[in-house]
């Protein structure tokens, strides 16, 4: 069973701080990695994807991937109250069938 693990939280940070969200995965052949944001009662929306080792930056968001450690993280700089949501890590495993396995999500709360 391919697994994706996240700390369920809640993770609480003050406004303006850096929020760090972490994810580990079990399938060493995994190819692509995604971060989704999900507000309460809403559907997930894609924030970032990464498939090469290293960092990828997009505005206040940075995704970091370390395939050797089977670890992917999301940093949110200058956190805002509107960033308060559940963040889902998703992993595409190897093979011809393209499907994502999701972690259970980390609840982030940004306090004004």
Taking the C-alpha atoms of residue 37 and residue 6, their distance in angstroms, rounded to an integer, is 14
Minimum CB separation from another protein for residue 72, in Å? Answer: 13
Residue identified by tokens 């069938």 is: 97
Give the binding site for another protein (CB under 8 A).
Answer: 8, 31-32, 34, 36, 42-46, 49, 51, 88, 90, 92, 97-105
Taking the C-alpha atoms of residue 11 and residue 21, their distance in angstroms, rounded to an integer, is 8
The nearer residue to another protein, 31 or 53, going by C-beta atoms, is: 31
Minimum CB separation from another protein for residue 36, in Å? Answer: 7
- Runs of H (alpha helix) within the chain: none
The nearer residue to another protein, 54 or 81, going by C-beta atoms, is: 54
The nearer residue to another protein, 2 or 111, going by C-beta atoms, is: 2
What's the token pair of residue 9? 């939280």
């Amino acid at each position: 069973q391919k697994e994706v693990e996240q700390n369920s939280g809640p993770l609480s940070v003050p406004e303006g701080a850096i929020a760090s969200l972490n994810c580990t995965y079990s399938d060493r052949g995994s190819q692509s990695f995604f971060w989704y944001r999900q507000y309460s009662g809403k559907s997930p929306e894609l924030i970032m994807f990464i498939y090469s080792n290293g960092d990828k930056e997009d505005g206040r968001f940075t995704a970091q991937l370390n395939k050797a450690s089977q670890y992917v993280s999301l940093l949110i700089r200058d956190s805002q109250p509107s960033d308060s949501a559940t963040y889902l890590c998703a992993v595409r495993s190897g093979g011809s069938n393209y499907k994502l396995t999701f972690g259970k999500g980390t609840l982030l709360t940004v306090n004004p």
